[in-house]
Structure 1
Amino acid sequence: MDDAEYRWLQDILYEEDIDVVRKEIERMDNSILLHIFAGNYNWNNGFDIPNIIINNDNCDLGTALLLFYSADGYRMLEDEQGFISSNSTKWKEFLIDLYDKITNNKFNLQNIAFNPPLTKIQILKLKKKRSDIPSILLEVLNGNEVKIPKL
C-alpha cells in the first residue's frame, strides 16, 4: 500500500458523512484495501458499513472471516441459545448473513490468509459442543498474509 492509498483509506475511515463512506466502499475494487479498511473499522459505528463490505464483489473470504470474528462471531458459535435470545437485532442479522455467505462459499476471492483468533482449547470445546460448525470457521485459511496497519 502506498502513501496515497493509506491517506485515502484514512480519509474514508474518519469521514463523518456515511453516504460518502458507503459510496467509497461500494466502488472499492482492491480486496487488500478493503481488508485493511475492515481491520480498522470502528464497530461503534454500527453494521451498515460492514454489510457493504461483505456485499462488495471484491470482498475476500479472509476479510469475511476477519469481520466475523471482529463482530464477536465466536459468541454465535459458542452459545447458540444466548445468541438467538440476544436483543441486538442488527448484530444477529449481520452475523447470520455473514455466516451464511461464508459457509455457502459466496466469496469469489480467497487470496487473503486468516487465522481464527482461537486457542486450541477453544476449538476443541467448540467441536465437542457443536459438531456442526463448519471447519472454514475454525481452521487457518491459507493465502497472502496482509499486515493491517493502524489508520
Structure 2
Amino acid sequence: MMNNKTTVTHGEKLQELKDLLYSEDNSKIITEIINKNPLDLHILAANYNWNSGFEVPKAILSNENCDFGTGLLMFYRADGYRLLESKDAFSASTSSEWKEFISKLYERILDNDFSNKSISFTPPLTKVQVFKLRKSNPSNPDVFLEKSPGDGIEIPVL
C-alpha cells in the first residue's frame, strides 16, 4: 500500500527557510514565522541580516517556540555585548529602536522567559573578554557569559 504522505527532505526544508528569509515581504516572513518550530527559528535567527531591521527578530522572539538559546544568540547578533560592556555607552546610543530591542531581550533572558531550553548557544566571547566583562561590571549575569543549556547544533548557512 502506498503512503500518500509527502516527505520533505532536509535540503528542501533548508531551501524553504532560505526562501522565507530572503523574501522581501516582511509580512509574509512574519506570517510564516508563527508556524515554525524551535530549530527553524534558531536557523532563521542565526542567518538573519540585522541591517533589515527589528521586525523579523521581534516576530521570532514572539513565537512561543522560541528557544532560550535562540534568544541569547539574538542578543549577541544584535550587538547586546555593548550593553554588557558599558551601560553608559549603551545609553548614549542614538538608536532608540535598538536600545528598546536589546533592553527587552536582556530582561527576558534574565527572567528566563522562554518555554524551551533545548538548543544551546555559546556566547562568542574569548576568556579574556569574559574576564574583562566580569572585572569591569561584576553585576553582569553569568547567563550572558556562559554556554546556555541544551544541545549544540550546527547552524547551516542559508
Specify the TM-score bucket, using the shorter chain as the normaliser: over 0.9
Distance 1:33 1:144 in 2: 15
TM-score by length of 2: 0.91
Larger Rg: 2
Residue 70 (str. 1) matches residue 55 (str. 2): no
Distance 1:117 1:108 in 2: 23
| 1:3 paired residue number | 11
Q: How many residue pairs were aligned?
A: 150
User: Which deviations, in whole Å up to 9, do the C-alpha atoms of 1:35-59 show, x marking residues without a partner?
Assistant: 0010000111001111111111000
| 2:89 paired residue number | 82
Residue 42 (str. 1) matches residue 49 (str. 2): yes
Matched letter for residue 129 of structure 2: Q
| 2:143 paired residue number | 136
| 2:130 paired residue number | 123
Distance 1:145 1:125 in 2: 26
2:104 to 97, 101, 106: 97
Distance 1:142 1:60 in 2: 10
- Where does structure 2 lack aligned partners over 5 or more consecutive residues? 1-8
Shift of 1:143: 1.7
Matched letter for residue 96 of structure 1: S
User: The residue matched to 2:34 in structure 1 has which SS?
Assistant: helix
Distance 2:147 2:48 in 1: 22
Deviates further, 60-69 or 136-145: 136-145
Matched letter for residue 149 of structure 2: N
Shift of 1:137: 0.4
Matched letter for residue 15 of structure 2: R
Matched letter for residue 81 of structure 1: D
Distance 1:3 1:149 in 2: 10
Residue 15 (str. 1) matches residue 23 (str. 2): yes
Shift of 1:141: 1.5
1:27 to 25, 35, 41: 35
Distance 2:76 2:60 in 1: 15
Distance 1:133 1:51 in 2: 24
- Where does structure 1 lack aligned partners over 5 or more consecutive residues? none
User: The residue matched to 1:27 in structure 2 has which SS?
Assistant: coil
User: Which deviations, in whole Å up to 9, do the C-alpha atoms of 1:91-137 show, x marking residues without a partner?
Assistant: 11110010010000101100111111011111111111111111110
